[in-house]
Chains A and B, each alone.
Chain A
């Protein structure tokens, strides 16, 4: 569905992207990962035809460089900056973008606003929306023309945990509908949604493959904070047992809190293990570790 081959983007002497290639099919999700300034947004903008570049990008076989508007007809884009016409009413904003996308079905506009909880507020100015609601509106606008490919630039960075969960479940749903999803993020959570990962740094591809392959290479970790009401023999036995697991890296205690560092993808296993031993958990917190230091490891070769 979406194919990039040898994409190179230069700003004068600065090489923002160097020979980037990837392919993502229908119903698949590609995660573009990398530290700030890696070239993730530049790559998305090349896909949209907003930037000139060397190399080829095709959407459903349509050349983005030669037939930009046709290619964009098949794409929906959620930018990092949630910019809209703040003075327009929500309904007028939706109507404007519907016309730009060639959507003339008024019922569809209503359905989309209703399904996103925005119909009741349709007469409110866009500027009155919270960040979360704004993102919801942009996602609704993006889906207006029923695009085959969804491009999301750091969609999880401006929303709370609840919002992140909602976006991730929406993306799962879009995948099930057969859409192609491309998402840039520095938050570990997208690992559950994406099928392929492309790790870039300073415009160069560091790693590209299935999510499992790349995540294994990155060795992503999370910290689980458990507040337990007992620190008895049974508790100590559980901690010792956890220490023997190959996906648990560190177990420490700080006051009432027990801190367990483990593979990001194995958090549910750790919590299940603790609960299965009959230990009562009073509170749980998790820390999603930023990928940045792992990128650094990967770039410097430590993680390999």
Chain B
């Protein structure tokens, strides 16, 4: 089969992604997380109302979204720097392919492999474990969409870290620190600011904008019908109060900008970089 170098790289990186030990381990853990064993017990015991799906999805997002970057960040942050260290990048780029083809092929391949994990986690769990009917799938799709957007942003961030790093260990540490900053530290930071700056609700817009994990979670929550106050959380409620029903447009726009900026940086820096 005649394949262009771009598609050859996409396929290669896709299989490299799904074969990576970390991705395999993560898939197993993530699948168990999405299946949510305690909820399965409650369903089988008929302790949950028939419209439990929305509540379950919102809870699932709150639980799983902070950990989603742990799928894509380690994979992408080590990918290029590892090849740099081993000399494989030099050998690959000595072939008649452009840097643009190489980097877009890598990003696309890794996005496909990690997306498979995300889709398998949410969709298969919904279809098999919760017996969701096809007509109900529209409730799950916003969650998957938000998760894929977060996955893409984290892949681009990890790839940027990888391009800028000289050593694999450093790249991995920076990536894990970035994740830590976005989950644990930023959450503490948001709360403290919200408490200390009374009456400064618009700051919430900024805090949400700089944290893709929280923004994508809220984007997923806004996509679920009949979502309650509990699922939105304090930040979600303030956002709805400030922006109204179009809060999801704000969230989506900000995340698309995140993605566009990160991918642009990856491309422009990698194309100009030297393979020393």
Q: Which residues of A come within 8 Å of B, CB atoms?
A: 45, 48, 50-52, 68-70, 72-73, 75, 77, 79-85, 87, 96-97, 99-102, 104, 138, 145
Contacts and interface: CB of A to CB of B under 8 A. Distances in A.
Contacts of A51: 274-276
Nearest to B89: A83
Nearest to B1: A104
B91 A102 contact: no
B95 A104 contact: no
Given A50-B94, A79-B94, A101-B96, 8 more contacts: A75-B94, A80-B87, A81-B91, A83-B88, A84-B88, A100-B96, A101-B95, A102-B5
Given A77-B91, A99-B8, A45 B98 contact: no
A45 B8 contact: no
Contacts of A145: 96
B96 A102 contact: yes
Interface footprint category on B = 20 to 34
Given A51-B275, A52-B274, A96-B12, A83 B5 contact: no
A85 B19 CA distance: 13
B227 interface: no
Given A50-B275, A51-B274, A72 B95 contact: yes
A99 B5 contact: yes
Contacts of A85: 12, 16, 88
B268 interface: no
**7 nearest A-B pairs in the assembled complex, by CB-CB distance:** A81-B87, A99-B8, A83-B87, A77-B94, A73-B96, A50-B275, A83-B88
Nearest to A98: B8
Interface in B6-57: 8-9, 12, 16, 19
6 contacts: A45-B90, A50-B93, A50-B275, A72-B95, A79-B90, A83-B87
A80 B94 CA distance: 13
B58 to A, nearest CB: 39
B90 A81 contact: yes
A75 B94 CA distance: 8
Contact of A50 (B16, B83, B274): B274
Nearest to A96: B12
A104 B2 contact: yes
Contacts of A96: 8, 12
Given A51-B276, A69-B98, A100 B91 contact: no
Interface string B142-183: 000000000000000000000000000000000000000000
Given A81-B87, A83-B86, A87-B19, A100 B92 contact: yes
Interface string B77-114: 00000010011101111111110000000000000000
A26 to B, nearest CB: 20
B3 A99 contact: yes
Nearest to B100: A69
Given A87-B19, A100-B92, A45 B97 contact: no
A216 B8 CA distance: 49
